[in-house]
Structure 1
Amino acid sequence: MTRHAQKDEISGPPAEEGAANRGECTDVSVNGSKLDAWPPPAQLPECVPWYTRQGNEVLCSGDLGAILRYYRTFHQLSQAQLSELINVDRTSISRLETQDRHLESITDRIRLGDQLGIPYAVLGIGGVRQQDHMDMIACGESVVRLSLIAREEGRAVDALRELDRLVRALEERAQSGKAAREDMVLLATARAEVGVALGDLLPEAHLDAAVQWTGSGARVISYLDGELGLSAHTLSMYGNELRKAGDLVCAVKALQHAIEISPDLGGHATANLLLARAASENGNVAMFDQCIGQCRQALEQDPSISNFFINPFSLREVELRGLLLTARRGDAERVASRSIAMGAPPPAWGVMERVTMAQFYLATGETDTAAAELRTAILDAQVFRLPHQVERAVRLAEGANLDDLVLAGTEAVKAMSNSLGVDGD
């Protein structure tokens, strides 16, 4: 199992790599048709005044005087310092702020927009590029929603296809200094979704890419004030990918922070469920029990909060696996016998449940039943491209001396890795 390098702190996600230091890319292909390479997230400018709620409101007002005053306040600049920054005399700044002077020249407006990162549309400069951007924002939420549906249906590669153009366009806009708050909110969401999709597709040896992408989504949203729901969600996704990559210390910290800031019951329950997983893997029985109790209480209080991550199937699977990891077989038998009064689970949870049931059967000495579960889980994981679950199955098979399943699982991981252009060994 690969272990991700432990982070020094968790006050924020890891710093993003610059475009010039992107390193190796991960190629994703399906049926011989390759998607574009997925490099690490691009480095983006920080401390942008227009990302804050107040800055966004000032920007949307179109009042150039108010915009200049807010820019100076945000960066703690005097009129003289701002005049030096944009290469005009101080009197011009004063007159612009009091609206005694207006920028009539398009050239002057473009220069001001470039120097202060003001979107051209605010300065009255339109054109085809601006319309393209407006169209992208208008459909961006739909793109993210479609990618999420694709991933939850076991089509993570399709999810990446949906997100590819959107993420690249938003990163380019942010790098140019013309991104507004709505761009960054959308980028944070899309980056987190890219990371979760990569976390489904990549074998354990390459899960750092998923950590990096979910972390970059959490980092973007940390620039923005007042987006607690999205911040909690991205931190939850980041923490879960850290857990899968083996960095349990930072995973726990990220998930605890997500619980602290989550403004709604569903987000709170989702973070608790993922923290329960990390706690059980870390052997923290008290934390695991507390988180499971919180999840059960949330679902009983409001069943409508069910989503891909928090639902009756996921609660049973996480609880069963955690009880097995914390050596409580009697409690595990009780949970394993619990029926779920709803339809079939999402594909990924169905595979996870099979592997976990195999783990349960091995613990109770039912090796033949466990082998049957593992065999089906390996086949299903190949269909839905879930190498991490195959690697779980292989470890269980190794412990039970099920050599044929070890071989089948190992070959399955290699095949899936080769189709992604990564090393599966």
Structure 2
Amino acid sequence: MAAPDNLRQRSGRLLSWHWATPEAQAVLATRDVGAILRYYRRVYAESQSATGERLGYDKTYVSALELGKRRLADVGSLRHIAEQLSLPPHVLGVTDLADTDHRAMCQFGHSTIRLAEIARQTGHAAEAVAELWPLVARLEARARDGYIEREVLRLLAEARLGLGTALGNVLPEERLATAAHWTAKSLEVTKAFDDPTLTATALRMHGNELRKLGLAGAAVQRLAQAASVAPNIADRAAVLPLLARAAGVLGNQALFDRAVREVHQLMDTVDHTSLVNPVALHEIHLRGLISTGRAREAIRLAEGPVPSPTITVAPQWRVIELITTGRVRLLAGDRHGATQLLETAVQQARAQRLPHQLQRVLRAGGEALPQVTSAASLALEELRTEMAA
């Protein structure tokens, strides 16, 4: 029996996922038309008659192909079958310029993602977005047409995740839903893979975008899940600082303290990263203490020794630290010190095109520091104008 119409309407996506399974990859690797037809019919619970009608062949011909009694060698027929089954032609031994171009894109796709992440970490998130948009657009178009392989599906997951994370740096708060949208789409694709590291990474980055979007409860849920599925200490350590942040925003003091304590315990056993390092954790600790109603403890922590950096800190982290420390100084009654810190934060956030951080300055300065809030408002409007253009 042929699949129902509503299933046919989703055939591109359905086929994309089925063709990307390990079982399908083993079938495709054989380049055996008969084996591929049998797999296709099993996925769709489709009869030989229905498949023959789709291909324009008689049922007996389909049966002969599946049994290996007939062979197809001409390029036209092979390309026709690939098109009807939403397969890239090269899996049946057919190559053309479009397919060659697509395979080249896949080869360089992972390099594009790595370079974009380096750009984001070094304060050039806008450039990272510019690098990733074309790659994501091409992969999305390929997926919509149903022509996707396991390698391409993983590349799509990583590209969506990288794009969403980079957008989370360059978009103002009122548009952060776009960043969360892309990280969510990445998480959707990771379900096709039995890869705990990929799953933990997608959950971690999506959870962080949810926090920035103001959905602290959902963020904690995603981040706690990321910590639970993390396959090793390094992956778990990467989640804990973000879990602490989200728990602080949620006002969950016990979870915040537990996450901070654990990541500090792991500091000596894992390589330091942009999140797992003394400087980043100091800022996260300060912000969380304020969020959980412990301003005095935050002030005491800020007045103590500042941790020495163990790695080169990403420029955006310097901005984040300035804002948090400025907020603590204001709570301590040091208006002059707070003004200096927040004005520097405005300058650096403007230079790095970080609208979300400018919005944090606006909240930190409030009515107490009108000069700071005025400068932050002006810089934010300039960035919005640039983005609109």
User: Do both proteins adopt the same fold according to a TM-score greater than 0.5, normalized to the shorter chain?
Assistant: yes
SS of residue matched to 2:137: helix
* Bigger helix share: 2
**Cα distance in 1, alignment partners of residues 118 and 343 from structure 2:** 27
Counterpart among 230, 240, 251 of residue 283 in structure 1: 251
Equivalence map 1:216-295=2 (5 Å)? 216-222=185-191, 224-295=192-263
1:110, 1:120 within 8 Å by CA — same for their partners in 2?
Answer: yes
Aligned to 2:283: 317
| Counterpart pick for 1:72 among 31, 35, 41 | 41
Distance 1:118 1:384, change over 3 A: same
1:416 correspondence with 2:344: no
Residue in 2 that maps onto 1:366: 334
Work out the CA distance in 2 between the residues paired with 1:154 and 1:250: 28
Give the 5 Å matches for 1:11-410: 45-46=13-14, 48-222=17-191, 224-302=192-270, 304=271, 306-333=272-299, 335-336=301-302, 337=304, 338-398=306-366, 401-410=368-377
Q: Structure 1-normalised TM-score?
A: 0.83
1:123 maps to a residue whose letter is: L
Residues in 2 aligned to 1:104 and 1:203: alpha-carbon distance in whole angstroms: 56
Q: Secondary structure at the match of 1:263?
A: coil
CA contact (8 A) 2:279 2:307 kept: no
CA contact (8 A) 1:196 1:237 kept: yes
Partner Cα separation in structure 2 for residue 331 and residue 94 of structure 1: 76
Contact 1:114 1:177 in 2 (8 A): no
Q: Which structure would you say has the larger Rg? A: 2
Structure 2 letter corresponding to 1:365: G
Whether the 8 Å contact between 1:53 and 1:226 is mirrored in structure 2 is no
Query: What is the TM-score normalised by the length of structure 2?
Result: 0.90
Q: Following TM superposition, by how much is the alpha carbon of 1:421 offset from its aligned partner in structure 2, in angstroms? A: 0.6
- Counterpart-to-counterpart distance in 1, 2:348 and 2:332: 24
CA distance in 2, matches of 1:146, 1:120: 30
Counterpart CA distance in 2 for 1:354 and 1:232 is: 30
Which has the higher mean CA deviation after the structures are superposed, 290-299 or 379-388? Answer: 290-299
Deviation at 1:334, TM superposition (A): 5.3
SS state at 1:300 partner = coil
The amino acid that maps onto 1:283 is G
Which residue type is aligned with residue 371 of structure 1?
T
Q: Distance in 2 between matches of 1:294 and 1:62?
A: 50
Residues 361 and 385 of structure 1, relative CA distance in 2, 3 Å threshold: same
Residue-by-residue CA offset, 1:249-289 (whole Å, 9 max, x unaligned): 22222222222222232322222221211111010111111
Distance in 1 of aligned mates of 2:266 and 2:39: 42
Structure 1: distance between partners of 2:309 and 2:341:
21
Contact 1:44–1:171 under 8 Å retained in 2: no
Report the CA distance between 1:62 and its aligned residue. Answer: 1.9
Query: Which SS does the other structure have where 1:46 is aligned?
Result: helix
Aligned residues: 376
For structure 2, which runs of at least 5 residues remain unmatched after alignment? 1-10
Deviation at 1:51, TM superposition (A): 1.4
Give identity over the alignment, percent: 36
Distance in 1 (CA, whole Å) between partners of 2:121 and 2:101 is 29
Unaligned 5+ runs, structure 1: 1-42
Pairwise CA distance, 1:80: 4.4
Task: Indicate the SS of the match to 2:267.
Answer: helix
Residue 152 and residue 91 in structure 1: after superposition, are their counterparts in 2 closer, same or farther (change >3 A)?
A: same
Measured against aligned partners, the alpha-carbon deviations of 1:323-363 in whole angstroms (never above 9, x if no partner) come to 11112245434543342242542111111011111121122
RMSD of aligned residue pairs (Cα, Å): 2.1
